[in-house]
Amino acid sequence: MQEDWDTNCIACCSAPRVVRLRPCGHALYCGICTIRAFKPGAHLECATCTAGVMQLEYGGDLPPSVTRMPTDPQPTLANAVTSTPLEFLTARAASGDEVMADAARAKLEGEEVEGSDDGGVYLEEEEDALIQAARDGDLDRVQLLLHLDAGNADRDPEVNINVNATDADEATALMWAVHEGHPQVVTLLLAADGIDVNAVDASGKTALICAAHRGHAEVVTLLLGADGIDVNAADASGGTALICAADKGQAEVVALLLGTTSIDVNAADVSGCTALICAAYLGRTEVVTLLVAAEGIDVNATNSRRRTALQYASAEGHAAIVELLRRRRPRN
């Protein structure tokens, strides 16, 4: 089937069509309207032939196909239409399709547009879609959303895909990509305009702290290369990326962090425990080896109980760590 990609989107009637529906093969929507209508969980029929939509394919300079199999055996167009923003529904009603128009009129009754302080409309569907795509490691969908965000200034200045939007736990798309260990998605998000690499979630954790805690060394490397990254940021309990990595025995991550010039090797959490104290107490021999060799390390630092790393290692029976610490202690 030959598509005319120069024909405008049937929903907004202003932007070129860039999406092809499968299995029917009809090209109907622009990218923005696709994201609005085909949000996760939405099931549609083709507006031309009523075939159930099983797959989306993006043409032009947009990323390759994104596949989503519907669970509803009888998807309806109206279900997706009635969940979209007011101005989008208005455009659909003007498109000439009676099913779209009926759904739009029902939605328009008594509903107001939710706007931002500067008058722009912030689309929750797009924000939620970015977080979900990042969490799932859906590289194609993340690319599409960021592509739309970058191109919105010329097509629809009121649409704003917020790369720093948060979920109920105040976690951003970047945090989820980091948490799940999706380096390609992290790379895309770090390159996005306005990305906040030091944003914190409800527990005060940054993306770097999360990556260090989970031992995602490749992701940590990417984050350390990001402009403005705060390597010494601490969460609500005072844990820095270095402390969290040491606590979990993530030696590769510890080595990466120690390789940065601004790392505070003696930072302590709310209980006064440094990375060295945590690692010594828990028997993380490889981590202790790295830490005692770090420039500026204080092997005699004490926590709120006035106990040192050596005292904890000795009490816990970590003989190899005791020996490492004794060698490193300054002689009087």
Q: Closest Cα partner for 246 from 207, 285, 203, 219? A: 285
pTM for this entry: 0.66
What is the per-residue pLDDT for 149?
Answer: 59
What is the per-residue pLDDT for 70?
Answer: 32
What is the per-residue pLDDT for 239?
Answer: 96
CATH of the domain at 79: 3.30.40.10
Domain-embedded: residue 221: no
What is the per-residue pLDDT for 138?
Answer: 86
Domain-embedded: residue 145: no
Q: How does DSSP classify residue 18?
A: -
What is the per-residue pLDDT for 296?
Answer: 95
Q: Determine the structural domain holding residue 8 and report its residue range.
A: 1-113
Domain boundary among 113, 148, 180: 113
What is the per-residue pLDDT for 55?
Answer: 64
Domain boundary among 113, 142, 167: 113
What is the per-residue pLDDT for 107?
Answer: 41
Helix (H) or strand (E) holding 260: none
Give ∠ CA 171-65-127 in degrees, rounded to 5: 25
Under-50 pLDDT residues of the chain: 1-4, 60-127, 152-159, 332
Query: What's the CA gap between 177 and 199, in Å, rounded?
Result: 14
Query: What's the CA gap between 76 and 79, in Å, rounded?
Result: 6
Domain-embedded: residue 249: yes
Query: What's the CA gap between 309 and 126, in Å, rounded?
Result: 48
Q: Look up tokens 């190899």; give the residue.
A: 320
Q: Closest Cα partner for 53 from 86, 14, 27? A: 27
114: helix, coil or strand?
coil
What is the per-residue pLDDT for 36?
Answer: 61
